[in-house]
Amino acid sequence: MKVRKESRGLHFYDRITGLHILADEVRTPVEDRDEGPEVISIAVTNVCDLSCAFCYAPKSRHMLSVPEIIHWCRELDQLGTLEVAFGGGEPTLFPGLAEACQTIWTDTKLGISITTHGHHLNEQLWENLKGFVSIVRVSIDAPEPLYSSIRGLPLARAMKNIHRQLAGQVPIGINSVVNTQTLGGLDELAVVVRDLGAVDWLLLPEIKNGKFTLSDSEWHSLDNWIISRSNDLNLRTTANAKAHLTGPFLLDDTPEDYAHISANGYLRRCSYESTGISLRDRPSMLIALRELKMCPQ
């Protein structure tokens, strides 16, 4: 179990079970607190074979190298980071995904998650990833036929891969973009989430040009739906979205600190930002993190 020293106390994390324990009666002096973000997301590649209209990832061929991913994660581990979340683009199209996961899992205490659309989860890839990943998150935004119209591939294909490769092997989480199109299909999508035995369901209200796209009435509908289903579904959402919602969630505590590394090697506060600090131009992750925190909010 890894321990992170935070302003709110000692944070214990088990990357196998996903258990988080916060000992908030223990106060850590400022000078002793860990400086790494609690969670870091890394876009290993911007390459994706789908073209979902709501996707905010840059449409470029940028891709990180395995050595730099490993180097940065080793630094982050030493700085107190608990989890690394690999995404993209589509991370399963990144040739070095398995090598990166294997090395990071062996050399650090970081938990590892992968967010994927699931259409390339084949037996060979999963054999190389199995035992080196804490959780696999699958992006499923709507039931059929809307799923196919959004993603251009049938949901059944992704479901087949998930059942064959992941079921009973690793915890599965579901990510769903919620917008005008998908809001009305949440009840039907809940059946899919249950079928996959998902440990949680992350609802992601759509953001475009830095702003949420849901109208006031749609936020109200989403809030009512969350309240009505909170007893039988393990629901989560983003910290920014919670300001628009009153419904209870599985995890009310947001990470004390979060950061993102883009596929062109820039450290950012979140994946929606277009600016950032080039890690390739900085001598260490710590220096980059300190510079990032000095940037205006």
Q: What is the pLDDT of residues 220-256, one digit of tens each?
A: 999 999 999 988 899 999 888 888 998 777 545 556 6
Q: Could you tell me the domains of the chain?
A: 1-33 (no CATH), 34-294 (3.20.20.70)
CB 243 within 8 A of CB 42: no
Structure token digits, residue 202: 């992350």
pLDDT 10s digits, 42-98: 999 999 999 898 887 777 889 999 999 999 999 999 999 999 999 999 999 999 999
**pLDDT tier, 296 (very low <50, low <70, confident <90, very high otherwise):** very low
pLDDT 10s digits, 28-37: 899 999 999 9
**Distance (Å, whole) CA 115 – CA 140:** 11
C-alpha dihedral, 86 to 87 to 89 to 93, nearest 10°? 50
Among 152-161, 207-216, 282-291, where is mean pLDDT lowest? 207-216
Q: Give the mean pLDDT of the chain.
A: 92
- Proportion of the chain above pLDDT 70, given as a percent: 96
| pLDDT score of 253 | 54
CB 127 within 8 A of CB 155: no
Structure token digits, residue 275: 């600016």
| pLDDT score of 118 | 95
**Distance (Å, whole) CA 207 – CA 204:** 8
Beta bridge partners of 114: 86, 136
Mean pLDDT of 168-183: 95
**Distance (Å, whole) CA 114 – CA 105:** 13
**Distance (Å, whole) CA 43 – CA 36:** 18
Structure token digits, residue 260: 């993102």
CB 150 within 8 A of CB 141: yes
**pLDDT tier, 297 (very low <50, low <70, confident <90, very high otherwise):** very low
- Give the H/E segment covering residue 280: none
- Give the H/E segment covering residue 186: helix 186-195
- Give the H/E segment covering residue 30: none
Helix, coil or strand: residue 208: strand
**Distance (Å, whole) CA 156 – CA 51:** 18
Closest CA to 204 of 272, 151, 157, 136: 272
**Distance (Å, whole) CA 180 – CA 218:** 7
C-alpha dihedral, 22 to 25 to 31 to 36, nearest 10°? 10
**Distance (Å, whole) CA 198 – CA 58:** 29
Q: Is the peptide bond before 58 cis (omega within 30 degrees of 0)?
A: no
CB 64 within 8 A of CB 42: yes
**Distance (Å, whole) CA 205 – CA 222:** 9
